[in-house]
Chain A
């Protein structure tokens, strides 16, 4: 809660990462022909690239902002268990990233003339699952890299390879849904990959956060 409140007071990360997503979306229009068929087939991939870049901006700050005035040490020595601190952070990051993503999704729909209204519920589900994967891994590694010299570089280097299965699944599903293909026999497997990924890493993260934060 504390994280959300301090974020909503300043809206620093929120604004920065949203602006950043829009910039990337604009840049993509130079890289690909925005009106072509090709655009339809890579839309899922584009969106998730934007989401994961925007996520890195938010996640980088998640634990780093506690470094000032030794807040992190105070948090760790407070009676709250490390798992609770971690879950609080993850939920806050999840909500922030979801806000940025939904806003970028709207921008994407306007810029790239996408009609996914009929699948909106399913898309929201995929986005929620994918975002949870990004935030669980991201918050975990944000805690892990917080005291490092090259924090800003180490976080994406470690996080993106680990996210591959989740991003792969989310991209495939999003592209399908964007093109009006609903959940079915073909893509159900990816939904399971995504949910399984979230489940496994949520548990692993809660188990190991104590080791990472406290020692």
Chain B
């Protein structure tokens, strides 16, 4: 059942991505000011939506773990965080490529960029912490606390965007009253978001299975040693 779901989501993601790549590269015209490079937004924005959503899901899962002490939630939180960190890396990388073309620099210490980098560092620390603890329940407990602290921090840093001067383009999606994009140009963002969410779900499921298996192996090894 699980395998079938993974397969279906995989096909769905691949299908949407191929269709949208065709749409983005061959059908949509260049943007008036930015030229061809604007197309990177179709991966930049969906990736950040997916990544942030993942961090919030990880927050929920960490809370659930502390509430129930069921290691299943810990495995889920770890898998989601790892995948979201990959998407956060995509956001940073695509953003830097775009910035190099449009701003002429790879990086600027703008509030949004800094927020993203801090976010990345916090969750990289989370994963490092997981590696530094051997005992599964202790690892689950401590990393859940770190996840909760980290997510709160992201929210505070996020708020500071409004207060610090920002160089990052303002939101252009119509849902946030940006209204700067032509309707045909906005749709691929949402389609790609859907595709990336499917992809993220697939990766999380695979990662979770690994996590569960490694815990099982670990407990078997402990059992073997105790004889």
Contacts and interface: CB of A to CB of B under 8 A. Distances in A.
Interface stretch (B8-16, B94-102, B143-151): B143-151
Contact of B156 (A150, A190, A196, A211): A196
A21 B147 CA distance: 31
Contacts of B157: 164-165
Contact of B145 (A144, A147, A154, A190): A144
Contacts of A165: 153, 156-157, 160
A156 to B, nearest CB: 10
Contacts, number: 68
A215 interface: yes
Interface string A136-165: 010010001101111000100110011011
Interface residues of A, number: 28
Main SS at interface, chain B: helix
A34 B103 CA distance: 33
A204 B149 contact: yes
B163 interface: yes
A204 B122 contact: no
Contact of A161 (B66, B125, B159): B125
A164 B146 contact: no
B125 A212 contact: no
Contacts of B146: 144, 158
Interface of A: 137, 140, 144-145, 147-150, 154, 157-158, 161-162, 164-165, 168, 189-190, 193, 196-197, 200-201, 204, 208, 211-212, 215
Interface of B: 66, 114, 118, 121-122, 125, 128-129, 132-133, 137-138, 141-142, 144-146, 148-150, 152-153, 156-157, 159-160, 163
